[in-house]
Amino acid sequence: MDVNLKKAKKLHTIKGWGTSACWWSQACPKGETADKLAHLLYGDDGLRLNIYRYNIGGGTDKDNCRVSNPWRTTDSFLVYDRETGESHWDFSREANAVNMMKKSLELGNIDTLILFANSPHYSLCSTGQASGSLLMHTCNIPKMNYKKFVDYILDVTQHFLDEGYPVKYVSPINEPQWKWGGSYVWQEGCHYETQEVVEIFHLFSEEIIKRNMPVRLYGPESGQYMGKTPEYLEALTADETIMQVLDVFAVHSYHSDDRPEERYEFKKTCVDTHPSLRFDMSEWCELPNKSHTRDFKGALITARIIGQDIVYSGCVSWTSWVAVNNTAIKEDDGFDYADSLITSDFDFTNWYIAKRYYALAHFSKYVPVGSVALDFGFVPTQESNDYNVFAFEAPDGSNVVVAVNEGNEQILKINSAHSKMQIITSVSDDELKQVYDGTAKQIIEIPARSISTIILK
């Protein structure tokens, strides 16, 4: 493949890289484990991420909960008495999750703290559960509780602000198009029709303006690039009050792993038609996850998706779904199929880094915030999707090229004006190894089944 950096077209400026603290951070004990994880994710010696998604949980009524996995629900600062209908705040709850956020913030790289919710508090829901309605594709919060939902999220937000945590965005809705509910539930979630999304965002906007809060709205965290996403976008942007507060239209890139053309379609349909609005890719994991955590194939897929999401879709940031997930063992082969960057047992007695962690490292460690994505003319298709190359211009004028090769050995030809070159390569069981540091070369061999980051100065 030929990469002519001298003639590459500048695209959009990258705002950052992130992950989510949902579900796992409340289980992570204070002390050495929390310190190590914070450094792995947000430290200069780790991924150097700058976006942190903190989950405001829907809470759990122990006597009325259908979710069996403790890592699929989140406790709440709001304590509700089902017998009296009264509630009060207890901000000593979720101490582990707050500790993890605080430890990560102290490392100095986070500039974007997002508070997001998968569901309203269970006491506001029709079912009294935060896991969705009893009917699929049905909103689980009655309209009479919309304002209470707004107050719940913004009161938590205000507490965080008062404690000195630099909350930038509030994201009250997550993947509104999915069914969330029915006879089988597995996690917190809530379905919303398009008009319900607009009504809730409108109320949030009014209240943020009324309270004069220094936060902006983020969302609606649509579950895929296309489908209902353009409909959400048009409905939200048509509301003048919402547009006073909505800074970022956030979307998830699920269900298009083998369709790079869907990213171009999203850019053409959504991003290019709303040039004043920021677009973020705020959540992805391999779904369904067919790569176990110790298989480098998972890293290759992840790196390909990161590059395609950040370059082709027009989104200016990329955030993985949960940083840590609990060990997921399949009975047929015994391998761990957790979908996260790090995998752990439920109490963090045993945890380790998954291979896909290194895929994100090839971008987040070497493509800093403020870099510009470049278009050098390569257009992938479903038929030619096993060899991808992505290029960026860093703020200091250097170029960074990331080559993701899921097949046999390839040749990469780079035309640039730089004189020095570093190459960092990951292959199975040998990650982030500097394999070259010297005079810039024009012809580079890209190993089979590898990820290579090439830095040109």
Cα(181)–Cα(127) distance, rounded to whole angstroms?
A: 10
DSSP letter for each residue of 260-288: HHHHHHHIIIIITT-TTSEEEEEE---SS
- Residue entry with tokens 């292959």: 427
- Superfamily holding 387-456: Golgi alpha-mannosidase II (2.60.40.1180)
**pLDDT recorded at residue 108:** 98
**pLDDT recorded at residue 382:** 67
Provide CB contacts within 8 A for 433, sequence distance 6+. 424, 425, 426
181, 58 Cβ separation under 8 angstroms: no
45, 12 Cβ separation under 8 angstroms: no
Query: What is the pLDDT confidence band of residue 331, given thresholds at 50, 70 and 90?
Result: confident
Residue 206 has pLDDT above 70, yes or no: yes
| pLDDT tens-digit map of 16-58 | 999 999 999 999 999 999 999 999 999 999 999 999 999 999 9
Residue 448 has pLDDT above 90, yes or no: yes
How wide is the angle at C-alpha 438 spanned by C-alphas 436 and 442, nearest 5°? 85
Cα(387)–Cα(405) distance, rounded to whole angstroms?
A: 5
| pLDDT tens-digit map of 349-393 | 999 999 999 999 999 999 999 999 999 988 877 667 899 999 999
Closest CA to 277 of 306, 222, 307, 315: 315
Query: What is the pLDDT confidence band of residue 243, given thresholds at 50, 70 and 90?
Result: very high
Percent of the chain residues past pLDDT 90, beyond the cut: 94
Please report the beta strands in 178-322, taking only residues with DSSP state E, as ranges in sequence order: 216-222, 246-252, 278-283, 317-319
- Superfamily holding 16-373: Glycosidases (3.20.20.80)
For the chain, the structural domain boundaries read 16-373, 387-456
pTM exceeding 0.95? yes
Cα(78)–Cα(98) distance, rounded to whole angstroms?
A: 15
